Structure formats: C-alpha cells, structure tokens
Amino acid sequence: MTDLSVELCGLRLKNPTMLASGVLDETGRSMLEIARAGAGAIVTKSVGREPRVGHPNPSVVELDVGLLNAMGLPNPGIELYANEVREARKGGVPIIGSVFGGTEEEIAVLAGQIVKAGAEAVELNLSCPHAKGYGAELGSVPGRVEACCRLAKKETRAPVFAKLTPNTSSIADLARAAERGGADGIVAINTLKGMAISPEARMPILGNKFGGLSGPAIKPVGVRCVYEIYEAVKIPIIGVGGVSSGRDAAEYIMAGARAVQIGTAVWAQGTGVFRKVCKELSQLMDELGYGDVSGMVGVAHAGRH
Ligand code: DHB
C-alpha cells in the first residue's frame, strides 16, 4: 500500500492534492464540499482589504486547451470573508488563506488577518497576471517579492507560501527572492497571461482584454518552472498548472513538488477529480516502486536518484 500523506511546513496532509485558489472557494460551504471530496488541503479565494467587484464580463472564456479568465480579483474583503474561512475549517483539512494587495505592507497585514480568521497557512498571490497594481506587477520584481515575504513573516507565525508568476524571464530568481525574504514554501505557477479574439466581433472576448490561461495547456510550463525552482531553493514547492490525473501529479512531484494544486480540472471534471488523482497516483507509485510521496520528490533531477 502506498502512503499518500505528506508533511508540508508543519501542515499534515492526508494526500498531496490541494484545491487551487479561485475555484469553488468563494464560500465556506463550497470549501466544505471540497474537503468532503477528498482534497488534502484547500486554498481560499484571494482576498483583499476592501470588497472588489472585479472586471467587467465576459470574465471567462472556455478554450480547447483550458480556460482564460480575468475575474479581476472579485472578493468581499477580508472582514466578511473571515466568516467563510471559519466555516471552511469545519471540513477538517488545512485551510491556506490566499491574499493579495497593492503594497508589500497591505499584503503582510492581510496575511496576519487571514491567519487570525482561522487559516493554518498563507499563500501570497504575487502573480495575478492582469489586475492593475496587483499580483504580477508587484510579483515580477524580486526585491518586492522578498519584502512581501519578510513583512508577512513578521505578521504571522504560520507558514507563508509565495505564489509566483511564470510571466517573467526567471521564475528561479523570484523563488530565490522569496526564500531570502523568509518564505516557507513556493507555489508555482499562476496563470499565463493570454488573450482570445472573436473574429466575428473583431474584438477581444474578455471584458478586460487580457486574462490568465490555466488548464492542460500550461502543464509543461508549470513542470519546467517547478524543476528550475527545485534547483534554486531549499524550501518546499507546491506545483500547480494543468493537473488532472495521477500522471500529471507525478510529473510535478518528480520535478520537485511536495504537493500539487488542482483548479481548472475541478471546473472541468467536478469535485471527484481529487479522489481520481489520488487513486491514479497511488497506482502509479505502486507500479514504479514508491512507498511514499517524499521518496519521489525531485527524482527527475540528474544525480538525485
Ligand atoms: C485572477 C487572479 C489570478 O491570480 C489569476 O491567475 C487569474 C485570474 C482574477 O481574479 O482575475
């Protein structure tokens, strides 16, 4: 029997799958459903200081290879969302609170607040590809990534994970900056900045014109990023981008991830995807002779067998 449980910065996960931020995580009730569906942990929707309505519609485009979305970080603000986090905790799996902000200080304060609301760890969204003044605008500058992590670590003793953008010349540089700032782990990757145009309408489909691409198309980019980050830092990595099968999870783990997040596949396949990925991963580990997940982490790197 394979053991799928993993330990991540003091968090105990019964399996290495997590709900990625942004899918079915707006309310405590929907997060409870994800917990019941077997996820090892849940990342909340990204929450900011004030309520935000987000970008104008259309905010999602369905493509053959995944999803393109520009929601624009809609959220009720930390004060109201705290109730959803409290509710989600009843699911009995670790809740990782995702926060975004316009400045390093704002992000750090939110990190402290979401832990007070009940999150066991924090994910700093330093990587939304299209919200003016937020996310990747701040998260593409190594010095700012470092400062966000350093300030967040002053606000909370809970583990702090930095979610990084692939829309940069060196994601490894960003990961090194996060590690220098004291981050406990790296989450890679956020969506790739993209665009879709309607030939009939002769205009971009998304209300915001640009959006974040997720799903199967971005898996090779995510796996490459995790591989590069694994060679650059010592802190644990959580892989995300296009995971919908046990083989996908194994690719990320062999590249260096200790856990994987699933987002677009929950939207495409439903909440059964968590048990499906775990079952397939367990079978594959059996076939390949791995008794536990930690023995498989990073094995694709030369000289680490
Ligand atoms: C949004 C945020 C993200 O971090 C992302 O990758 C895609 C979309 C958003 O809220 O628009």
Q: 10 Å Cβ neighbour count for 201?
A: 8
CA distance 41 to 156: 19
pTM of the model: 0.97
For residue 134, what pLDDT is reported? 85
Closest to 21 (Cα-Cα) out of 64, 85, 83 = 85
Token pair for 200: 């009939």
Q: 10 Å Cβ neighbour count for 255?
A: 24
The DSSP string of 237-299 is: EEEESS--SHHHHHHHHHHTEEEEEE-HHHHHH-TTHHHHHHHHHHHHHHHHT-SBSGGGTTT
Q: Which atom of ligand 1 is nearest to the CA of 73?
A: 10
CA distance 252 to 193: 21
Ligand 1 within 6 A of CB of 167: no
Are 78 and 108 in contact by the 8 Å Cβ rule? The answer is no
Ligand 1 within 6 A of CB of 190: yes
Closest to 253 (Cα-Cα) out of 202, 213, 300, 287 = 300
Ligand 1 within 6 A of CB of 125: yes
Q: 10 Å Cβ neighbour count for 56?
A: 11
Catalytic site residues?
128
Ligand 1 within 6 A of CB of 206: no
Mutating to test ligand 1, I would choose from 191, 195, 221 the residue with most ligand atoms within 8 A of its C-beta, which is 191
Q: Which atom of ligand 1 is nearest to the CA of 131?
A: 11
Q: Which atom of ligand 1 is nearest to the CA of 100?
A: 4
Torsions phi, psi for 164 (to 5 deg): -105, 160
Residue nearest to atom 2 of ligand 1 (CA): 128
Mutating to test ligand 1, I would choose from 68, 163, 190, 209 the residue with most ligand atoms within 8 A of its C-beta, which is 190
pLDDT in tens, 199-222: 999 999 999 999 999 999 999 999
Residue nearest to atom 8 of ligand 1 (CA): 70
pLDDT in tens, the chain (305 residues): 899 999 999 999 999 999 999 999 999 999 999 999 999 999 999 999 999 999 999 999 999 999 999 999 999 999 999 999 999 999 999 999 999 999 999 999 999 999 999 999 999 999 998 888 888 888 999 999 999 999 999 999 999 999 999 999 999 999 999 999 999 999 999 999 999 999 999 999 999 999 999 999 999 999 999 999 999 999 999 999 999 999 999 999 999 999 999 999 999 999 999 999 999 999 999 999 999 999 999 999 986 55
Ligand 1 within 6 A of CB of 191: yes
Ligand 1 within 6 A of CB of 69: yes
Q: Which atom of ligand 1 is nearest to the CA of 55?
A: 11
Look up residue 213 and give its amino acid.
L
